[in-house]
Chains A and B, each alone.
Chain A
Amino acid sequence: MTVVSYMEGAVLIDLFLTFARIGMFTFGGGYAMLSLIEDTCVEDKKWITHDEMMDVTVIAESTPGPIAINCATYVGYKKGKLPGAVIATLGMVLPSFIIIYIISRFLDRFLEITWVTNAFKGIKAAVGILIVDAAFRMLKKMKKKPLQVSMVSCSFIALILINIFALNISSVVLMLVAAFTGIIVFAVRDCTGKERTKE
């Protein structure tokens, strides 16, 4: 019994340290993190198989929330049930939490220094480019069927219009409409498809 709980403790500590390391060394968000998680959890630790890693990726992309958190919770649960899931997720969050907390305490005073402000002015130009680039990369991967293409265009135009006319509509509303449209289009196709097979 003690041996078992000792082993479990060791797994939990390992989970925590591993995900803390992943959390500490990935810059640039989820997609960069996926390759590091695959490298660590599949190749190195052999906690999950390559196929399971593919599953995690699909699940992480089709569920809300930070992709890294989805992955940490998945692998943690797989290795150590609920305590494992909690510990792995905590490990993932903790390093950046500490770093950002410290930065946020000093950033205001920091920004009063002229050269820091100038550096940030430059960085702002980069941030916009990076966001557009993220969208381009997703566009490249997207299936270019009529539904997808029209959905991208509609949500793009809608958000621009919302901003130009300063309307009080959250992007959550756009997303709900999009999900609903997806279901309706599917239902309509399903019905017409069935009619065709009857004929």
Chain B
Amino acid sequence: MIYLDLLLGFLQVGFFSFGGGYAAIPLIRDIVLAYGWLDDELLTNMIAVSESTPGPIMVNMATYVGSVKGGILGAMIATAAVVLPAFVIILLIMILLKKLLQNKFVRAALSGLKPCIIGIILATGILMIIRTCGIWPAGETDVTTICLTFVMAIIYFGSRKILKKGIRPIMLICLSAIAGLIIY
């Protein structure tokens, strides 16, 4: 039953994604691959689409996967599922548990959670670069992509030294799309 799977899958994403959209990417990857909804290639396309369109990344991803797998109803279910935990938790905190976040055990759990998430995000990003460049697991090293990634990284991180805020993520995506058109 695809609708039930979408509901349960994205409730899980909504409930465990501390720290916003990038923290949700590894989670969504796990779930999407486990159910066999998308392969790695479509998944990377989806992340690119979610990043280059407005709105919360996590909501975009839920809508996308839901729509591809279950049409309009699937999109609605997945989106509602990813939003619901955050919605309910904030309401509960405001109505009942104003002191909850000051609780020392909650603080202690969060102090373990936050760095763990950073490690997970970092590993996900690096694994994604390695996969895109075909170094592993495909073993067909794609020199063009490696060069492109390298140049884009230099442009992206280097621009911060020159400009005050550097180029925006959306600019990087546009630049790399144009570069892709030219070199492939």
A residues with CB within 8 A of B: 23-31, 33, 58-59, 61-70, 73-74, 77-78, 82, 85, 89, 92-93, 95-97, 99-101, 103-105, 107, 111, 115, 117-136, 138-139, 142, 147-149, 151-160, 163, 170-172, 174-175, 177-183, 185-187, 190
Chain A residues near B14: list those with CB within 8 A: 64-66
Interface string of B17-35 (1 = CB under 8 A from A): 1111110111100110010
Give Cα A170 to B34, complex, Å. 9
Chain B residue, CB-CB nearest to A182: B112
CB-contact partner of A96 in B60, B107, B108, under 8 A: B60
Is the Cβ of A63 less than 8 Å from the Cβ of B20?
A: no
Is the Cβ of B17 less than 8 Å from the Cβ of A64?
A: yes
With an 8 A cutoff between CB atoms, is B2 at the interface? no
Judged by DSSP, the binding face of A is helix
Chain A residue, CB-CB nearest to B114: A142
Is the Cβ of A127 less than 8 Å from the Cβ of B51?
A: yes
Give Cα A181 to B111, complex, Å. 9
Question: Closest CB-CB distance, B13 to chain A, in whole Å?
Answer: 9
Chain B residues near A118: list those with CB within 8 A: 180-181, 184
Is the Cβ of B79 less than 8 Å from the Cβ of A182?
A: no
Give Cα A122 to B178, complex, Å. 7
Chain B residue, CB-CB nearest to A85: B91
Is the Cβ of B119 less than 8 Å from the Cβ of A74?
A: no
Chain A residue, CB-CB nearest to B179: A122
Is the Cβ of A120 less than 8 Å from the Cβ of B48?
A: yes
CB-contact partner of A122 in B93, B110, B122, B177, under 8 A: B177
CB-contact partner of B101 in A59, A97, A103, A111, under 8 A: A59
With an 8 A cutoff between CB atoms, is B123 at the interface? yes
Question: Closest CB-CB distance, A195 to chain B, in whole Å?
Answer: 18
Chain B residue, CB-CB nearest to A67: B20
Chain B residues near A77: list those with CB within 8 A: 90-91, 94
Give Cα A78 to B91, complex, Å. 10
Chain A residues near B64: list those with CB within 8 A: 100, 103-104
Chain B residues near A174: list those with CB within 8 A: 116, 120
With an 8 A cutoff between CB atoms, is B8 at the interface? no
Interface string of B127-144 (1 = CB under 8 A from A): 111001000000000000
Additional A-B contacts beyond A66-B58, A100-B63, A148-B111 (11; CB < 8 A): A66-B82, A66-B86, A97-B59, A121-B184, A152-B115, A155-B123, A156-B119, A171-B16, A171-B26, A174-B116, A183-B105
